[in-house]
């Protein structure tokens, strides 16, 4: 199916156009004319058991869109925060004005959302490529043994690091980003993973640095980083595999929103 078009939401799975008229696929169903768009569709039920049909979204596109929206919102809030001069036990500094405390917390929340969904977009992207390109099994070394995993096992049993560094490069017969001469791309992924893990598995040492103000708490991380870096780095990782995948325009659309 094509992924090109200006009239459809960029997060859809894909679409095409009918080459000829089509009769109803089932009694009472709709007929279609040549030139009508054809979408991937899903059917589910509401809590009241009503049948609901809808165009199938691309989960990786939704995840990166959430990350981008939250990053842009975080930056907007950060730029609006009011600072006042303050004397601290370590010398002169700044204080977030107490009236801006709710906005500060909103800023932190949007950063947490952005980093979390950046990683989710990568994992969903990898699973999509595994589903589309794996037939049979792939040998994977686990617990010092070679195991042959099918596409379901590859998606559900392996870490994201393994998918990006080993499985997708093997599927597409390209060099692993982990082994590139310039490891900048791989380091971007590792940093994303570190911040996401700190966010999701937040320990007390990452909440409050205590007397050691130079210890990098999660909030130190958010203050020092442009939140757009999280979805941008995730897109950079996905772009590494872009020449090998179909339906690429959603990545370009995500990049345009971020910029």
| Model pLDDT for residues 105-146, shown as the tens digit of each residue | 999 999 999 999 999 999 999 999 999 999 999 999 888 899
Distance CA 31, CA 253 (A): 32
Distance CA 125, CA 64 (A): 10
pLDDT at 2 over 60: no
Q: DSSP assignment of 18-62, as one string?
A: -SS-B--SSTTPPPB-TT-EEE-EEEEE-TT--EEEEEPB-HHHH
pLDDT band, residue 210 (cuts 50/70/90) = low
Residue 39 has what pLDDT? Answer: 77
> What mean pLDDT is predicted for residues 238-252?
93
> What mean pLDDT is predicted for residues 179-201?
89
Higher pLDDT, 230 or 27: 230
pLDDT at 201 over 50: yes
pLDDT at 197 over 90: yes
Q: Tell how strand 138-142 and strand 91-96 pair up.
A: unpaired
Residue 117 has what pLDDT? Answer: 98
SS3 content of the chain, % helix, strand, coil (to 5): 50, 15, 30
pLDDT at 6 over 80: no
Q: Is 93 strand, coil or helix? A: strand
pLDDT band, residue 202 (cuts 50/70/90) = confident
Helix (H) or strand (E) holding 85: strand 83-88
Higher pLDDT, 213 or 166: 166
Angle at 67 between CA 197 and CA 5, to 5 degrees: 140
| Model pLDDT for residues 62-104, shown as the tens digit of each residue | 999 999 999 999 999 999 988 888 777 666 777 788 888 999 9
Helix (H) or strand (E) holding 187: helix 184-200
Q: Is 129 strand, coil or helix? A: helix
Distance CA 89, CA 109 (A): 28
pLDDT at 181 over 90: no
């Amino acid at each position: 199916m094509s992924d090109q078009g200006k009239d459809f939401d960029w997060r859809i799975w894909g679409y095409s156009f009918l080459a000829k008229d089509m009769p109803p696929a089932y009694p009472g169903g709709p007929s279609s004319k040549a030139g009508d768009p054809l979408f991937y569709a899903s059917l589910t039920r509401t809590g009241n058991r009503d049948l609901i049909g809808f165009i199938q979204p691309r989960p990786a596109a939704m995840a990166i869109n959430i990350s981008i929206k939250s990053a842009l919102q975080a930056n907007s809030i950060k730029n609006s925060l009011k600072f006042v001069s303050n004397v601290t036990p370590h010398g002169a500094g700044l204080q977030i004005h107490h009236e801006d405390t709710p906005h500060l917390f909103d800023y932190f929340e949007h950063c947490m959302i952005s980093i979390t969904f950046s990683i989710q977009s990568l994992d969903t992207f990898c699973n999509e490529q595994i589903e589309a390109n794996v037939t049979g099994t792939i040998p994977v070394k686990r617990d010092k043994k070679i195991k042959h995993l099918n596409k379901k096992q590859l998606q559900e049993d392996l870490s994201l690091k393994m998918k990006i560094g080993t499985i997708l490069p093997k599927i597409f017969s390209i060099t692993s980003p982990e082994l590139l001469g310039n490891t900048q791309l791989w380091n971007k992924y590792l940093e994303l993973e570190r911040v996401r893990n700190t966010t999701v598995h937040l320990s007390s040492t990452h909440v409050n640095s205590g007397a050691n103000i130079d210890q990098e708490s999660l909030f130190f991380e958010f203050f020092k980083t442009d939140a757009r870096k999280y979805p941008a780095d995730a897109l950079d990782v996905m772009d590494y595999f872009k020449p090998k995948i179909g339906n690429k325009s959603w990545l370009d659309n995500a990049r345009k929103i971020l910029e």
